[in-house]
Structure 1
């Protein structure tokens, strides 16, 4: 049995496994990892302000994306802009994980 609900600006999926336990899944943004990779490649510090200016994604939204506890949701336009900035695919910007991982 699968069902989905939105909880504080983030997508949570609940699934009931065969033993009857409920497991939580969520979308997690990989912004910190992408920033670290880009900084390493370019051998310089990249601030969230710079990412915000170059992508058009609000700096506060970027900050919330870095913090999994914030459970932030965003638009496909923002995801597209981040993919362009980091030169990556959507699945590199966000991943579907079991909560607690």
Structure 2
């Protein structure tokens, strides 16, 4: 399963900038709905587009591997 690392990226950016960054702020900056961002932050297995991943990488100034990662399903 593809997992999102958004909560950590938001927390790190908040600390770096010395202010609270909300999911709504990130959603507005990258051009997606707040509800979609909330699902991604909660890491609910939300499906998104490469356009959104690109926008998030630009916002956080990170590589896609910092944004998402793969977790093997254990059988």
Q: Same fold (TM over 0.5)?
A: yes
Query: In proportion to residue count, which structure has more helix?
Result: 2
Query: In proportion to residue count, which structure has more strand?
Result: 1
Tell me how many residue pairs correspond in the alignment.
74
CA distance in 1, matches of 2:73, 2:6: 17
User: In the alignment, which of 24, 27, 42 is matched to residue 49 of structure 1?
Assistant: 24
Q: Which has the higher contact order (CA 8 A, sep 6+)?
A: 2
1:27 matched to 2:2? The reply is: yes
Aligned to 1:39: 14
TM-score normalized by the length of structure 2: 0.90
Deviation at 1:41, TM superposition (A): 0.4
TM-score normalized by the length of structure 1: 0.68
Larger Rg: 1
